[in-house]
């Protein structure tokens, strides 16, 4: 008997599968293609005043009401405020009734004035001009019909313009109960990014006239241009004027379903509820934008060190002995492994917080966990939000007692997921959060897991409508696919919530918005409708799960969530859902990963080798080479696919040892990027334009990416290729796998690089100091090895400088910061000038690193003059005597492309190693020598 698959839309919900296979990919179902008729004449501004704290408060009146998609709301409140130097908020809502908004307790932010306070047409503190000026941004408006413009104060550049002319293919402002529309003009040359979650076949840039629908849906990531698991209504706009770039971002904070129509010259939002709550972030660099965005929505959660190791998962580890064999086989194959996962195979009857007593007997599982915990390995299991309806199941019984479930007509809403009939916890209810924390505590006492994987939380439902448990038949039967609905269900169409007047392009097919999820007329705590809160479900579960794990042992939580919303990165990591073992899916993984960095969820990756069906051996080779450099690196496979652990093929094992070997050497760098992400929001994996924003050639590079600002990953993404075409911005790039190999370009170049089956090209940019260790098979051991600092100078310069940073801490503690003696931060510097080389450090909070005893054993300096020998070594101002055990070692470097001066001798460069050092990482040091 096959168990029901625990993987979200893992094989595509069967009822959608036929529809998708019948041509969703081959024909445009996009509602963006036809020009929509105009809906109304907009609003006029009838009063505006300044509040005591300097904001604008205005009142709008509809100009010409109509009944298209329902009656217009007659009066609106306009609230505009420069909340920070680089953030402007424009909030528009009903002036006479409170409307649904993203709850302020879920996403903390300033609350606008309560709308009923502004019903009167007071002109007190009236303002006479039509401009409202902040430090970086300027807001201006026209009164009739009302429209607004957001500009840069510095140069008057228009970032957002909501005005509408007769020739525009969109309407003026429309604000009805279940239909909101607003648009902005755009310069055609603007490059836009974001608006996810969406698998984008054209790369990371938004593509005109493709549909961008935002509504959390359990639909496999193999489906292109479709609303997937997360909702992130934010875009970054990158422009370039005369070779100088500027970026800004626009967030529409709204959890209701929406279609976003990007036409190249304009962008239109069509939303089925809520309010218009815009935030504008001034940038001007892409990194500035993400820092400003995450300052509002929450900085990304710090991840434990071990989370940057390699993870192995599979749906179908039928019993504990299989899991034990997997761990042992990774060890035998000498492939690094930090975390072993269980999909729902460990559960009894697919029920959360349970153990199968036959296949995963508790005492044997505890013994296994003791064994792997002793060497630093970790164990993570899945939990789904659907709680099985079962009179002997304590989790459900306690939930019923505490009244924690979403309701329909006063009774817990009934759905079906893997265990059969389920109820869904309502995480908007404080009582539910307390119950959930208690259930996580109970489970942790049963099984001391190291993190939780929350899946199916869009929320996914194998049925639709109002359902009952059938009488006289078993559901599920246990003989067929577990994702076939076996409850007795009827459609719910009697309310305007279940059948709204405007149909978003849900699932790419304009299916009813309650299809295969919770009925949208179901009710949450305090009368909140699922219609409004739907896309917040996974976000609210992440917050509750984070609280639960944080309260366990005071350790840093690790949570992997499939469904995400604005702010999810503060609590959870993300994987990109159910992908396929195809070359196209390998390609798509890069833009999706890069988008999540922009969304403030930097810990992200795709299922390596694909979730289903079986990958080819060659594809799995190339996927682990790429996946070794995802921020979150996990192999995960489907029950129905053949086994695809990395040791299953010797060729894949070789590629894994090579690529993961480099990853484990780079763990100090990745962990330092984790610290930077938590403090500044900076993505771990970044598009090239983050480091090279002025270069238009980088704006749609979707086959390469940067780790941090300086490590360039250029994978093979096509079948039967042994070379890769890689773009290199100007400067010097050094191969990390062979640092003698140097690429020097004076202008942007696309180069063909050798890439045999077991090779991935990874390059380090000039002006960087990269901290590395010696690697190992598990992060705990790799972390104890001596450090090597790689100093990359420009190869064709007689003078140069380089910088880097290193953050070290006790990664089990919840916070990731300085100041409590449990962390150390090191700034690294290097210069070369007139043949003199100097490398030094500046240590903050030295205590932690000194107690750990970390040392720097080696310096590798790249790009030095090969015609001169290294001599006169000094450490901390003292000459190093012969016999000290410290030695110089120099190798001449070779150019794969040399674009130095035409004619004459080309300057040769050398890689110089200083070996045998024993410098305390926690102490300031200075190492210098002459090249003479």
**Catalytic residue annotation:** 455, 458, 578
Classify residue 878 by burial, with Cβ atoms within 10 Å: 0-12, 13-18, 19+. Answer: exposed
| DSSP H helices in 730-778 | none
Distance CA 102, CA 116 (A): 19
Distances in whole angstroms, Cα of residue 818 to Cα of each of 394, 570, 852: 43, 19, 16
Distance CA 816, CA 626 (A): 28
Q: Is 46 left (phi over 0), alpha (psi -120 to 50) or beta?
A: alpha
Distance CA 424, CA 564 (A): 17
- Under a CB-based contact definition with an 8 Å cutoff, are residues 199 and 522 in contact? no
Radius of gyration of the chain (CA): 29
Q: Which residue bears the tokens 């036929």?
A: 18
Does residue 679 sit in helix, strand or coil?
helix
Best CA proximity match to 256, nearest among 196, 182, 183, 178? 178
- Under a CB-based contact definition with an 8 Å cutoff, are residues 659 and 652 in contact? no
What sign does the dihedral 413-415-421-422 (CA atoms) show? Answer: negative
Task: Name the helix (H) or strand (E) containing 553.
Answer: helix 537-553
Omega prior to 90 cis, within 30 of 0: no
- Under a CB-based contact definition with an 8 Å cutoff, are residues 674 and 308 in contact? yes
User: What number of H helices and E strands is found in the chain?
Assistant: 15, 53
Q: Using H for helix, E for strand and C for coil, what is the string for 310-328?
A: EEEEECCCCCHHHHHHHHH
Query: For 110-147, b where at least 16 C-beta lie within 10 A, e where not — what string?
Result: eebeebeebeeeeeeeeeeeeebebebbbbbbeeebbb
Distance CA 602, CA 573 (A): 7
Does residue 111 sit in helix, strand or coil?
coil
Cα end-to-end distance, the chain, whole Å: 75
Distance CA 685, CA 713 (A): 10
Query: For 356-376, b where at least 16 C-beta lie within 10 A, e where not — what string?
Result: beebbeeeebeebbeebeeeb
Best CA proximity match to 387, nearest among 378, 400, 374? 400
Q: Angle at the Cα of 124 (from 120 to 129), degrees rounded to 5?
A: 110
3-state helix, strand, coil in the chain (%, to 5): 20, 30, 45
- Under a CB-based contact definition with an 8 Å cutoff, are residues 498 and 514 in contact? yes
Distance CA 555, CA 446 (A): 18
Q: Which residues contact 282 (CB under 8 A, 6 or more apart)?
A: 86, 87, 88, 136, 137, 152, 248, 288, 292
Does residue 764 sit in helix, strand or coil?
strand
| β-bridge mates for residue 412, sequence order | 407
Q: What is the DSSP letter of 169?
A: S
Does residue 418 sit in helix, strand or coil?
coil
Classify residue 850 by burial, with Cβ atoms within 10 Å: 0-12, 13-18, 19+. Answer: middle
Q: Residue 203: phi, psi to the nearest 5?
A: 105, -170
Does residue 678 sit in helix, strand or coil?
helix
Distance CA 591, CA 201 (A): 9
């Amino acid at each position: 008997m096959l168990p029901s698959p625990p993987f979200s839309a893992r094989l595509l919900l069967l009822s959608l599968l036929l529809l998708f296979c019948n041509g969703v990919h081959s024909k445009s179902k996009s509602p963006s293609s036809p020009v929509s008729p105009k809906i109304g004449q907009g609003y006029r501004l009838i009063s505006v005043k300044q509040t005591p704290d300097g904001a604008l408060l205005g009142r709008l009146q509809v100009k010409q009401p109509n009944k298209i998609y329902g009656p217009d709301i007659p009066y609106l409140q306009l609230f505009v405020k420069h909340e920070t130097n680089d953030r402007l908020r424009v909030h528009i809502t009903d002036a006479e009734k409170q409307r649904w908004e993203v709850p302020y307790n879920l996403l903390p932010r300033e609350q606008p004035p309560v709308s009923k306070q502004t019903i009167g047409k007071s002109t007190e503190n009236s303002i006479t001009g039509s401009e409202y000026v902040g430090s970086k941004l300027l807001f201006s408006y026209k009164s009739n019909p009302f429209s607004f413009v957001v500009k840069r104060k510095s140069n008057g550049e228009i970032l957002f313009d909501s005005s509408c002319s007769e020739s525009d293919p969109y309407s003026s402002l429309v604000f009805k109960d279940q239909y909101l529309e607003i648009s902005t003009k755009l310069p055609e040359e603007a490059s836009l990014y974001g608006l996810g979650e969406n698998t984008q076949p054209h790369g990371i840039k938004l593509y005109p006239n493709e549909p961008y629908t935002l509504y959390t849906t359990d639909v496999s990531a193999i489906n292109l241009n479709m609303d997937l698991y997360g909702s992130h209504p934010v875009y970054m706009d990158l422009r370039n004027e005369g070779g100088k770039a500027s970026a800004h971002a626009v967030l529409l904070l709204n959890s209701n379903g929406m279609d976003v129509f990007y036409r190249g010259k304009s962008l239109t939002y069509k939303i089925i509820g809520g309010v218009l709550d815009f935030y504008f972030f001034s940038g001007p660099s892409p990194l500035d934008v993400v820092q400003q965005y995450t300052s509002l929505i929450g900085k990304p959660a710090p991840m434990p060190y071990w989370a940057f190791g390699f993870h192995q998962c599979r749906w179908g580890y039928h019993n504990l002995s299989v899991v034990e064999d997997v761990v042992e086989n990774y060890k035998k194959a000498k492939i690094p492994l930090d975390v072993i996962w269980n999909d729902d195979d460990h559960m009894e009857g697919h029920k959360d917080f349970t153990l199968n007593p036959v296949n995963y007997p508790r005492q044997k599982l505890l013994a296994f966990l003791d064994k792997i915990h002793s060497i630093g390995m970790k164990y993570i299991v899945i939990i789904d939000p659907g709680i099985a309806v079962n009179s002997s199941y304590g989790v459900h019984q306690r939930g019923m007692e505490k009244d924690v479930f979403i309701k329909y007509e006063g009774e817990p809403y009934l759905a079906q997921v893997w265990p059969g009939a389920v109820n869904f916890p309502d995480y908007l209810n404080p009582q539910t959060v307390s119950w959930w924390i208690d259930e996580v505590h109970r489970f942790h006492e049963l099984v001391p897991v190291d993190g939780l994987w929350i899946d199916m939380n869009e929320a996914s439902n194998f049925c639709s409508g109002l359902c009952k448990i059938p009488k006289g038949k078993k559901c599920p039967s246990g003989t067929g696919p577990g994702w076939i609905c076996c409850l007795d269900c009827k459609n719910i169409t009697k309310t305007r919530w279940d059948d709204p007047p405007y149909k978003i392009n849900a699932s790419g097919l304009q299916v009813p918005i309650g299809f295969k999820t919770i009925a949208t007329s179901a009710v949450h705590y305090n009368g909140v409708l699922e219609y409004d809160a739907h896309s917040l479900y996974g976000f609210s579960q992440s917050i509750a799960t984070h609280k639960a794990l944080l309260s366990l042992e005071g350790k840093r939580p690790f949570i992997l969530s499939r469904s995400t919303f604005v702010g999810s990165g503060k609590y959870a990591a993300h994987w990109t859902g159910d992908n396929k073992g195809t070359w196209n899916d390998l390609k798509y993984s890069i833009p999706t990963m890069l988008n999540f960095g922009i969304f403030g969820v930097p810990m992200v990756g795709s299922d390596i080798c694909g979730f289903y069906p079986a990958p080819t051996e060659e594809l799995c080779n190339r996927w682990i080479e790429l996946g070794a450099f995802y921020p979150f690196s996990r192999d995960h496979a489907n029950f129905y696919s053949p086994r695809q652990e990395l040791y299953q093929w010797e060729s894949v094992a070789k590629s894994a040892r090579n690529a993961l070997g480099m990853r484990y050497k780079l763990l100090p760098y990745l962990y330092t990027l984790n610290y930077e992400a938590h403090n500044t929001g900076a993505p771990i994996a970044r598009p090239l334009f983050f480091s090279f924003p002025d270069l238009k050639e980088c704006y749609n590079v979707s086959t390469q990416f940067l780790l941090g600002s300086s490590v360039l990953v250029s994978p093979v993404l096509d079948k039967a290729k042994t070379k890769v075409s890689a773009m290199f911005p100007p400067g010097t790039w050094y191969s990390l796998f062979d640092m003698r190999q140097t690429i020097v370009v004076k202008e942007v170049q696309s180069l063909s690089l050798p890439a045999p089956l077991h090779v991935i090209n990874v390059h380090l940019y000039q002006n960087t100091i990269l901290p590395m260790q010696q690697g190992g098979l598990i992060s705990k051991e790799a972390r104890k090895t001596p450090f090597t600092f790689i100093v990359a100078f420009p190869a064709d310069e007689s003078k140069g400088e380089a910088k880097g940073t290193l953050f070290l801490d006790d990664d089990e503690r919840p916070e990731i910061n300085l100041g409590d003696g449990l962390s150390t931060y090191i700034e690294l510097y290097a210069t070369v000038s007139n043949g003199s080389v100097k490398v030094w450090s500046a240590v903050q909070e030295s205590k932690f690193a000194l107690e750990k005893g970390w040392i720097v054993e080696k310096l590798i300096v790249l790009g030095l003059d090969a015609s001169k020998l290294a001599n006169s070594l000094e450490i901390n101002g003292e000459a190093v005597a012969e016999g000290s055990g410290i030695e110089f070692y120099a190798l001449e470097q070779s150019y794969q492309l040399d674009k130095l001066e035409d004619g004459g001798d080309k300057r040769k460069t050398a890689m110089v190693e200083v070996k045998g050092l024993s410098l305390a990482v926690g102490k300031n040091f200075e190492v210098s020598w002459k090249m003479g």
